[in-house]
Amino acid sequence: MTERVLKREDDFMLQIPELLAPAGDLERLRYAINYGADAVYCSLPEFGMRSAPANFTPEQLAEGVIYAHARGRKVYLTMNTLPTNEEADRLPEAIKAAATAGVDAFIVADLGVLEACKQFAPEIDVHMSTQTGITNWAAARAAYNMGAKRVVLAREMSLQDIATLRDKTPPELEIEAFVHGAMCMSISGRCLLSNYMAGRDANRGQCVQPCRWKYYLSEETRPGQLYEIGENENGSYILNANDLCTAPFIDLICKAGVDSLKIEGRAKTFYYVASVTAAYRKALDQYLADPLNDNFELSDDVLAELTRTSHRHYSPGFYFGREQARQATDSATYIREWEFVGTVESWENGVASCQQRGKWSLGDTLEVLCPDGRSIPLHPEWIKNEAGESVESTPHAMEKYTIPTPELPPMSLLRRKVETLDK
């Protein structure tokens, strides 16, 4: 991480926080790093609270660590499930494999996992996961006394709560907080709805998100008669949380003493990871350009970028108190104004070689997102397929094609504006 202390004025310590991005697999790790992350967090198939197949194998983890370290970045391994007795027996093997791969820290929630990490990989830092439910300075200090280098705060803490916690804990203890992404309606993810209603354990990364379902009221003596809770004809989403977005007040989070700004989304696409990471890289750099300015204003292009991925309505979460932590009671659907349609593999002499990730046609409104955060409008006059033939669109999955563009770096991403007729 960059040196924590930027400068001191009037006894107020300013921080240069780390930007921490999710990496669901090796591809997403590469995009996160190239789009501005200082560190990434990922998981092996077991112990990581994500059941999707796109986790890392031990070999991929080692490859990812080499890739990150070669660029001066860090890799944290998430091991924040609450293991059963049988799973606990397999902890030493997983910890040793991660240590061999060279990870920079373990993210844990269970005290047994913490102890095992200290026993089998004492040279590697341990971070206490948000699943631990740390909401106060006493819990943070206890975690530090047990050997934690960092605490990942519960999402339910306000800016004032964080500032108080920072003041009452050792300065060597690092503080990490979520700044963007999906929110859980239960305190720090401690929800049993999925387990109860579908037999799918959220602690194993299998949550079916019953909080996003439509609900009606039923009266005991009138079975089968359903009553709407609100006026929306689609039902009432009484448990459905908005997405967190803190970019407009990232300066206040930094000034509260947060050392690491965490983006949620290990299950999200690499396009999502790239776009959101680029936006927060810009936001953080804008703050750091004039950190003593009490009238920080985020540039419009950062806010625009955060509308170019699928998301629910944004909210500041609990940072300004519980009254600001809104629920999305009208709908659980995503807002989708742009869609990802291709990657730029290479560029030469005014022509970009691309790979299809979604269909688009000549005349569509296009943009390209570059790893440095630039968003460039595109108006290609032609498309040529892999055979060199002129075509009007890119309908075939993963097909290669070329288009005329200004100079573009590799790993740039093409997107298409979703028109009204597409929705």
Residue 222: the pLDDT is 74
229 pLDDT higher than 60: no
Question: For 55, how many CA atoms within 13 A lie in the half-sphere containing its CB?
Answer: 18
Contacts of residue 139, defined as CB under 8 A and 6 or more positions apart, other chains included, come to 132, 133, 151
Task: State the pLDDT confidence band at 331, using cuts at 50, 70 and 90.
Answer: low
233 pLDDT higher than 50: no
Contact 228, 235 (CB under 8 A): yes
* Strands 217-218 and 226-227, sheet pairing: antiparallel
Segment 114-154, tens digit of pLDDT: 999 999 999 999 999 999 999 999 999 999 999 999 999 99
Q: Return the minimum-mean-pLDDT range out of 151-165, 245-259, 408-422.
A: 408-422
Segment 364-406, tens digit of pLDDT: 999 999 999 999 999 999 999 999 999 999 999 999 999 999 9
Q: What does the alpha-carbon distance between residue 243 and residue 336 come to, in Å, rounded to a whole number?
A: 14
Task: State the pLDDT confidence band at 231, using cuts at 50, 70 and 90.
Answer: very low
348 pLDDT higher than 50: yes
- Chain mean pLDDT for the chain: 88
More confidently predicted of 422 and 262: 262
- Which residue in 55, 1, 63, 46 sits closest to 23, CA to CA? 55
How far apart, in Å, are the Cα atoms of 113 and each of 56, 125, 298? 19, 13, 40
The DSSP secondary structure of 110-171, one letter per residue, reads: SHHHHHHHHHH-TTSEEEE-GGG---SHHHHHHHHHTT-SEEE--TT--HHHHHHHHHTS-T
Task: State the pLDDT confidence band at 228, using cuts at 50, 70 and 90.
Answer: low
Q: What does the alpha-carbon distance between residue 16 and residue 7 come to, in Å, rounded to a whole number?
A: 10
Residue 190: the pLDDT is 66
- At the top level of CATH, which class does the domain 5-183+241-324 belong to? alpha beta
Strand partners, 106: 77, 126
Segment 265-291, tens digit of pLDDT: 999 999 999 999 999 999 999 999 999
Q: What is the mean pLDDT of residues 18-46?
A: 97
- Hunting for tokens 């631990």 — which residue is that? 132
Residue 386: the pLDDT is 97
More confidently predicted of 419 and 37: 37
Task: State the pLDDT confidence band at 329, using cuts at 50, 70 and 90.
Answer: very low
Each domain of the chain, given as residue ranges in start order, spans 5-183+241-324, 187-227, 339-422
Residue 419: the pLDDT is 82
Look up the pTM and report it.
Answer: 0.87
Task: State the pLDDT confidence band at 351, using cuts at 50, 70 and 90.
Answer: very high
357 pLDDT higher than 80: yes
Dihedral sign, Cα of residue 20, residue 21, residue 26, residue 27: negative
Q: Return the minimum-mean-pLDDT range out of 79-93, 157-171, 194-208, 235-249.
A: 194-208
Contact 81, 204 (CB under 8 A): yes
Task: State the pLDDT confidence band at 230, using cuts at 50, 70 and 90.
Answer: low
Residue 241: the pLDDT is 74
Segment 65-112, tens digit of pLDDT: 999 999 999 999 999 999 999 999 999 999 999 999 999 999 999 999
Contacts of residue 189, defined as CB under 8 A and 6 or more positions apart, other chains included, come to 130, 131, 202
Strand partners, 393: 361
Share of the chain above pLDDT 90, in %: 72
21 pLDDT higher than 90: yes
The CATH H-level (homologous superfamily) assignment of domain 339-422 is Translation factors (2.40.30.10)
